[in-house]
Structure 1
Amino acid sequence: MPNKLIIGTRGSALALWQAEHIKQRLWLEHGLESELKIIKTKGDKILDVPLAKIGGKGLFTKELEEMLLSGAIDLAVHSLKDVPVELERGLELSAITKRASCEDCFVSEKYAGIDDLPPNARVGTTSLRRSMQLKLLRKDLDTLSLRGNVQTRLQKLKNGEFDAIILAKAALERLEISEVAYTRPLAFMIPAMGQGALGIECASENVSITKYVRQLQDMESAICCSAEREFIRALEGGCQVPIGVYAHRQSNQLVLEAILGLPDGSASIHSTLVCVFDSNPEIALISAKNLGVQLAQKFIKNGAKELLAQAYAMI
């Protein structure tokens, strides 16, 4: 074990908050000192192209994973929604932290909610998933690509480039952003896989570090997020196509809900499955993954593969 751990992170205010949060937990819970190392990823460097155009495996993780494999960093802190369901050989997702709010938020300087937007209003979002669900609600909305960190996006809103933008509620809460006139959670919108949770990635062979990192895991969040990740894996859908999936515990049940559609909202599949949330965490985790596979199979029977092919052709 080195005297001081090196935590790899992206450089945005939100990414730094996330990495600092893990740094503090390592110190308070295990007495481990660490420092942050900022690494630019492909997704950070290319800001003038919609995410879906440059998307693919490892858009926000590849460079961090290379540093893990080379030993230049000891762990990497990610937004879990950015972590591919298939990891590079030699790496593991050592911990999924307790999930914060997973909701998407409507943010505007002028309008209180989606229903208040004028016809053909300009709505900024990085996500085809969000765009698709907005279009299902209001086909007239002009959903436009919005890249950059949270502060950059908010500044574009203030500059009048958009009538509203869509951001993750967890990001607004973590950065304590409250100066915008209107923010409203979008209860109808199904979030991205793992949204609101952090994923901590390590080199599998680095057992002196993984044994501590694994103790940062929140088991209920890990079970829920594993169902979501297994759904995406079984469906063979990437993070840059219009798919929303959300698992949550409801009493003694695990509820998994998902939506898949075309970016313009002209077609979609929406379904839910439920299983028992076992009191034994290991059994609950296996059941959650099986539930993800079962829901994916249900989607495939309902034409998900064909819809995904159409969605890729539209990107």
Structure 2
Amino acid sequence: MTLSVPTARPDADLVIGSRGSALALWQAEWVKAQLERAVPTRRVAIQIIKTTGDAILDAPLSKIGGKGVFTKEIEEALLAGVVDLAVHSLKDLPTRLPDGLKLGCVTQREDVRDALVARDGIRSLDELPPRAIIGTSSLRRQAQLLARRPDLQLADLRGNVGTRLQRVDEGRYDAIILAAAGLSRLGFEARIAQRIPTDIMLPAVGQGALGIEIREGDSTTQAAIEVLAHHRTWHACEAERAFLHGLGGGCQVPIAAHAVVDDEGRLRLRGLVARVDGTRLVQDELTGDARFAEDIGRELAERVLAQGAAELLAELHT
């Protein structure tokens, strides 16, 4: 599928490229407000760009190309100069960016956890009835759910947040799993039955943070977005993304990671690689100086590969 990328640049000092979903627009509007607040005379516009991932809604995400399907057209507009920055849920941004683009900054992270949204007063994963039908498009979530509850029936779930919630209300699923941060940003906190602890379900790499992608060498935009930067979150996500990169994975692979930086600048990174059916999880953790976040991520990737993750990843590619 080929989608047309806008060629006309809006008349503004800075132009933000964004998908058109409610969550993507919330994120873009939030960034716009921060940039305008920092410099009240600055004119900031949002250019909505439809991506391949938005256009294909009838196939599992793992079958249509992974994370890049939500970024490709926006990145083309960025490289063409039609937009100056792209706002992404960082978990959707691949670790390998196109030549000429870079991750300019990362915003302060919100709740990193996954959230259970369920029917009939169910308040936790453990309260789900036997063989309950759970909607999720994430192999990472699927593997960790089945590791804890192998009786559950997993069904693919696509569409925007409102559509997904509606499908629970209609009884198509007993429950669904979504990112807690996205639900909170859209005002759906009351729908959260359980914020699933990270010792039960490790989140996606970068979950809860926004990544601001810009052109390499664009010092003007880099200076403008510094108001958005949160350096503790940057180090945490840098370690997680290095872990993912070291494994060569994307959202077609059940990989999870979560890093936390304490007040003393120590970084703790936990990482996981799973078999899709949840019958095997390989996980480990590593602690070190946050200044060496990438090194920590790479080392943890090497450790889990040696402990059996290489075998699991090979299974997924055969």
Q: Report the TM range for the smaller structure's normalisation.
A: over 0.9
**Whole-angstrom CA distance in 1 between matches of 2:262 and 2:316:** 32
Matched, 1:276 2:289: yes
Task: Work out the number of aligned pairs and report it.
Answer: 303
1:259 pairs with one of 269, 272, 290:
272
**Whole-angstrom CA distance in 1 between matches of 2:12 and 2:60:** 41
Match in the other structure for 1:310: 315
Match in the other structure for 2:221: 209
Matched, 1:22 2:27: no
Structure 2 unaligned blocks of 5 or more: 1-10
Cα-Cα RMSD? 1.4
**Whole-angstrom CA distance in 2 between matches of 1:56 and 1:177:** 26
Deviations, residues 122-142 of structure 1 (Å, cap 9, x unaligned): 000110000100001010101
**Whole-angstrom CA distance in 2 between matches of 1:300 and 1:20:** 40
Alpha-carbon distance, 1:55 to partner: 2.5
**Whole-angstrom CA distance in 1 between matches of 2:223 and 2:179:** 31
Matched, 1:112 2:123: yes
Match in the other structure for 1:39: 49
Is the Cα–Cα contact under 8 Å of residues 242 and 311 in structure 1 kept in the other structure? no
**Whole-angstrom CA distance in 1 between matches of 2:111 and 2:100:** 31
Match in the other structure for 1:147: 158
Match in the other structure for 1:281: none
**Whole-angstrom CA distance in 1 between matches of 2:12 and 2:54:** 30
Alpha-carbon distance, 1:66 to partner: 0.2
**Whole-angstrom CA distance in 1 between matches of 2:236 and 2:59:** 32
Is the Cα–Cα contact under 8 Å of residues 241 and 312 in structure 1 kept in the other structure? no
Matched, 1:121 2:132: yes
Is the Cα–Cα contact under 8 Å of residues 81 and 239 in structure 1 kept in the other structure? no
Mean Cα deviation higher: 208-217 or 97-106: 208-217
Alpha-carbon distance, 1:218 to partner: 0.4
Mean Cα deviation higher: 139-148 or 169-178: 169-178
Q: Secondary structure at the match of 1:77?
A: strand
**Whole-angstrom CA distance in 1 between matches of 2:67 and 2:184:** 28
Matched, 1:194 2:206: yes
Alpha-carbon distance, 1:210 to partner: 1.8
Deviations, residues 221-280 of structure 1 (Å, cap 9, x unaligned): 000000000001111111231011000023432110011111110111011111134xxx
Match in the other structure for 1:48: 58
Q: Secondary structure at the match of 1:302?
A: helix
Is the Cα–Cα contact under 8 Å of residues 69 and 90 in structure 1 kept in the other structure? yes
Alpha-carbon distance, 1:3 to partner: 4.1
| Aligned residue type for 1:190 | L
Alpha-carbon distance, 1:215 to partner: 3.7
Match in the other structure for 2:6: none
Structure 1 unaligned blocks of 5 or more: 278-283
Alpha-carbon distance, 1:306 to partner: 1.7
Is the Cα–Cα contact under 8 Å of residues 261 and 311 in structure 1 kept in the other structure? no
Alpha-carbon distance, 1:114 to partner: 1.3
| Superposition TM-score, scaled by structure 2 size | 0.92
Alpha-carbon distance, 1:198 to partner: 0.2
Deviations, residues 28-73 of structure 1 (Å, cap 9, x unaligned): 1133221111111111111111111112351211110000001111
| Aligned residue type for 1:264 | D
| Aligned residue type for 2:249 | G
**Whole-angstrom CA distance in 1 between matches of 2:12 and 2:56:** 35
Is the Cα–Cα contact under 8 Å of residues 40 and 63 in structure 1 kept in the other structure? yes
Q: Percent identity of the aligned residues?
A: 45
Q: Secondary structure at the match of 1:247?
A: strand
CA separation of 1:192 and 1:57: change in aligned 2, threshold 3 A: closer
1:176 pairs with one of 187, 194, 209:
187
**Whole-angstrom CA distance in 2 between matches of 1:79 and 1:240:** 17
| Superposition TM-score, scaled by structure 1 size | 0.93
**Whole-angstrom CA distance in 2 between matches of 1:166 and 1:224:** 23
Deviations, residues 132-159 of structure 1 (Å, cap 9, x unaligned): 0000101010111100110010011111
Match in the other structure for 1:222: 234
CA separation of 1:142 and 1:312: change in aligned 2, threshold 3 A: farther
Is the Cα–Cα contact under 8 Å of residues 129 and 241 in structure 1 kept in the other structure? yes
| Aligned residue type for 2:239 | A
